[in-house]
Structure 1
Amino acid sequence: MNVMQSGWFSEVNDYLWPGVALSLEVEKVLHHECSKYQDILVIKTKSHGKALILDNVIQCTEKDEYAYHEMISYLPLCSHPNPKDVLIIGGGDGGAAREVAKHPDVERVTLVDIDNRVIEICKDYLPRLSLGLNNPKVSIHACDGLQYLKDHHGKFDVIITDSCDPVGPAEHLFEQPYYELLKAALKPGGIIASQAGTVWESIEQVKNTFELCKNTFPVAAYAVTAVPTYPTGQIGFVMGSLDDKTNFTEPIRIFSDDDLDEMEMKYYNDKIHRAAFVLPRFVEMKLSSNKKN
């Protein structure tokens, strides 16, 4: 199906969410190119501001991106007692780097994205997102995340995988060898968080990703957040910790309202942190079962 028709962009993907589509009215196509790795599209929409689309899948829109980027960043950061060194795999738009760099304990943020064109295009067209890429705490490496992990053992307190869905260049980020590399790249007591899909359309993918995490780390959990422009309006994260005493459901670092205002946080606080791990019964049953239900 043609995803651009009569002034509308429609996200259609029969592999990831068959029979479901989200459409945004387009005011202008700002940029379109095919990089070495993927199709990159930036549009100005009527209702959601600018949107970044990779391989015809919406990655973020200006209207609701903060819900995703704050949660994928602060769920792990506030579960770690002292997150000084943070690695982001993917995240070339800069949104996760922007949020991670706000945390007062974070001293160094390393962003590794295989596609330098995503980084450059977002700097040009999505300044509200990409401002994180210019933060002095942030260093950027345009290279393969797997190779970077292989070369950096025991270096990071927190690793965030801000990836596309498990097709194309991100497919290997949803496999067991990747989780073993994540584990090896952590310092003692380190924590990971990875984008893990939606239970409403991809529950088998969620279960499989959660199993990878659970098989690799002493403590694992699955959390959700609401992002209206993602399929079904919700997306989840798998979390893993090397510390068997970690309790993801109870944040270690709690920010005051004044702190959150100063950090310009729009979505995250300690209450929504706890709520993110409260799952519907069918999800709890699916993730606790070793069988496909």
Structure 2
Amino acid sequence: MGKIEAQNIDLASFKHSSVYKLDDQYWFQEKSDSFAGQAFGLEVKEILYHVNSEYQDILVFKSATFGNVLVLNGIIQCTERDEFAYQEMITNLPIMSHKKPRKVLVIGGGDCGVVRELIKHLDDGVESITMVEIDDMVIQLSAKFLPNMAKFRNHPNVKIVIDDGFKYLKHLENQNEKYDVIITDSSDPEGPAEEFFQVTYFKLLANALNDKGIVIMQSSENIWLNIDYLKDLLSKAKQVFSNVRYAQCYMPSYTSGQLGFIMATSDASNPLCSATRSFSPEKEAELFKYYSKEVHKSSFILPAWADRTLNGSQ
């Protein structure tokens, strides 16, 4: 494929189910059956790129207040303004909970934000990073329109595999390839990504882990949208892993302003909710904008009703 360039799309004539005109402004509106009854909107200044790839509808637009925005199948994946919160948390919660996270596998993550965060740990234990992304178009568009996220996609310690993440893990069932940390940075559980939210997937993750290995995945929902779904997802993870925890982070561009993570390991002695390793405050300030050892711990503290539902007997 040739070099990606902005398409210079006329906003007034652009047709997309998520983009509409209101008075003198154009708006992107995120709606989904997963969070019926509410929506999230951003003012659109420019349509940078739109394509239906082999796998999904991909839209990139410049917003009025959140910078460039990547949208897959009508759902915001990241914005320049707040992407660091999600990327830092989904990466550093497991990395800082593992004593020696040498070998890391990323499933999905085509915007390469997780890879960027992992590169920060090359001098602190991480030696190799493998990213398995099904849609190369996401990587190419991120390189063009989200360059701060995708800047390490060609790093010598990074191996990018264009493949279905589920099939990749299935292939590992008969291999000796094992990882210390596996990060599932998938889209929401619709279409091909639905496989990433089933017991079978947790079993594949467990098979691909070294002893004391840790997995993390975005949970798609948060406590305000569909807590019963979260409870069911935690139950599925607990069928495979003996140590399962739910954490959350604040993301203004995600519906309800929050997103959750499920972190799991078969190592019952690992607290997960407090970092096994830590940096000095000065080093933390140099490396991170959102994550810290205090944020690590506090992200597992839920409001009382949510804690009772997810971690109690209800």
**TM bin (shorter chain):** over 0.9
Partner of 2:60: 42
C-alpha distance in 2 between matches for 1:113 and 1:221: 26
Count how many residue pairs are aligned between Structure 1 and Structure 2: 289
C-alpha distance in 2 between matches for 1:67 and 1:255: 18
Partner of 1:5: 20
C-alpha distance in 2 between matches for 1:31 and 1:79: 38
Partner of 1:249: 273
Q: Rate the CA distance shift 1:284–1:63 in 2: closer, same or farther, 3 A.
A: same
Matches within 5 A, 1:54-93: 54-93=72-111
Code of the aligned partner of 1:9 = F
Partner of 1:215: 239
Q: Which of 159, 162, 165 does residue 139 from structure 1 map onto?
A: 159
C-alpha distance in 2 between matches for 1:135 and 1:242: 31
Q: Which moved more, 1:220-229 or 1:197-206?
A: 197-206
Q: Which moved more, 1:212-221 or 1:183-192?
A: 212-221
C-alpha distance in 2 between matches for 1:167 and 1:228: 22
Partner secondary structure for residue 34 of structure 2? coil
Report the Cα offset of residue 260 of structure 1. 2.1
TM-score normalised to structure 1 length: 0.95
Deviation track 1:45-99 (CA, whole Å, cap 9, x = no partner) reads 0100000000000001000000000000000011101000000101000011110
Report the Cα offset of residue 289 of structure 1. 5.2
Partner of 1:271: 294
Deviation track 1:146-203 (CA, whole Å, cap 9, x = no partner) reads 1211223551000000011111221110011100000000011100000012110121
Partner of 1:285: 308
Partner of 1:128: 148
Partner secondary structure for residue 277 of structure 2? coil
Code of the aligned partner of 2:126 = V
Partner of 1:157: 180
Could you say what the CA RMSD is over the residues aligned between the two structures, in angstroms? 1.4
C-alpha distance in 2 between matches for 1:161 and 1:43: 25
> Is 1:262 the equivalent of 2:300?
no
Q: Are 1:154 and 1:188, in contact at CA under 8 Å, matched by a contact in 2?
A: no
Partner of 1:114: 134
Partner of 2:222: 198
Partner of 1:99: 117
Report the Cα offset of residue 286 of structure 1. 1.4
Q: Which moved more, 1:151-160 or 1:91-100?
A: 151-160
C-alpha distance in 1 between matches for 2:230 and 2:204: 20
**The structure with more radius of gyration:** 2
C-alpha distance in 2 between matches for 1:215 and 1:276: 23
Code of the aligned partner of 2:206 = K
C-alpha distance in 2 between matches for 1:245 and 1:154: 24
Unaligned runs of 5+ in 2: 1-15
Partner secondary structure for residue 178 of structure 1? helix
Q: Rate the CA distance shift 1:107–1:12 in 2: closer, same or farther, 3 A.
A: same
Report the Cα offset of residue 290 of structure 1. 6.5
C-alpha distance in 1 between matches for 2:257 and 2:110: 22
Report the Cα offset of residue 223 of structure 1. 0.3
Report the Cα offset of residue 206 of structure 1. 1.2
Partner secondary structure for residue 19 of structure 1? coil
Partner of 1:22: 40
Report the Cα offset of residue 261 of structure 1. 3.5
C-alpha distance in 1 between matches for 2:140 and 2:211: 34
Partner of 2:198: 175
Query: Percent identity of the aligned residues?
Result: 41
Partner of 2:258: 234
TM-score normalised to structure 2 length: 0.89
Code of the aligned partner of 2:167 = Q
Unaligned runs of 5+ in 1: none
